Amino acid sequence: MLFQLYEDFGQSPWLDNLRREWVNSGRLQEWVDNGVRGLTSNPSIFEKAISTSDAYDKQFKELILANNSVEEAYWELVITDIAGAAKVLDSVYQKSAGTDGYVSVEVDPRLARDTNRTIQAARSLNNRLDLPNIYIKIPGTAEGIPAIRQMISEGVSVNVTLLFSVERYEQVIEAFLSGLEEREGDLSDVSSVASFFISRTDSEVDKRLESIGSDTATALKGKTAVAQGQLAYRSFLKAFGSDRWKALEKRGARLQRPLWASTSTKDPQYPDTLYVDSLIGPNTVNTLPDATLKAFVDHGTLRRTIDIDFDVADRVISDVQELGINLDEVANLLELQGVEAFENSFENLLETLTAKGRTLTE
């Protein structure tokens, strides 16, 4: 199923989760053997992995006893996991000639509104890992856009995260293209994906549609997120079919593929593979939590759907807005909530590790 998704439809299935036990036990290798072509992580994933497992205790204790701060120890734990996962996925990276096989790690989420410190953190993470199949995740906030452009110009591969609107996505494409244009020589060593978050949009818009309560509003529930993803793909086709892109492609530039993130359904009334089945198409990535990945393998639908009808997607967005729902406002709210959620996960994990450090060194 996963092999068909890539070979027949051009979409790369990635795993949106990481645990040290999976790396050490061979479970991650099993995912790769079954068709997974990349992996994404975020602060919430690491909070859950580290706080609910003793697999990190030995290394963490050694780091604390070596007089590392809790935060310094945290980053060492993360780097160990990311490097381990990158080693597992290196075979995919090599076989795909650098198209897939990437592992994504996010900069400190507390820097999402600070361009200069984001640049410094991205450089530091990239240098410390020093692996070809690593994506440094940078939030696609207004402050993140210049950092993305700078990192691309320096040859750092970037996963742009927390995108909730087509407008912001187009700004990210511009940052990517501008960064490449600032870089001299061959461009084949730079890679990027742009992570467009899907299900959270429906969660917020559906709540507003529910409050309206009309038949029209009810009929639109569960449609906005997919429509936005499809229109983002239209923007992708336009940007990467332009003469500007073709000039960069001659220098070896790689496509910045759209990546569908947050693809587990939050509403149990919707099919659990809704945000996979509805967004299948060439030169895209879908990063799936393990439960959604298992569901898709079991009963997903293999069909090209991403560009099935842009006119329908336009009508959905238009109809939602005509009901008085401001999608720019929704995107800004979701971005704010996303940044805060990752910040809270980061802070909570540091608190958990502080307490664990006292226990392990008593």
Question: Which residues carry out catalysis?
Answer: 137
Distance CA 176, CA 19 (A): 31
Q: Which two tokens stand for residue 124?
A: 């530091």
Query: What does the alpha-carbon distance between residue 148 and residue 310 come to, in Å, rounded to a whole number?
Result: 28
Neighbours of 316 (CB within 10 A): 19
What is the CB neighbour count within 10 angstroms for residue 67?
7
Residue type, 28: L
Cα 314 to Cα 310: distance, rounded to the nearest angstrom: 6
In sequence order, what E strands does 30-133 have?
103-106
The CA radius of gyration of the chain, in Å to the nearest whole number, is 20
What's the one-letter identity of residue 311? D
For the record, the structure tokens of 297 come out as 């393998």
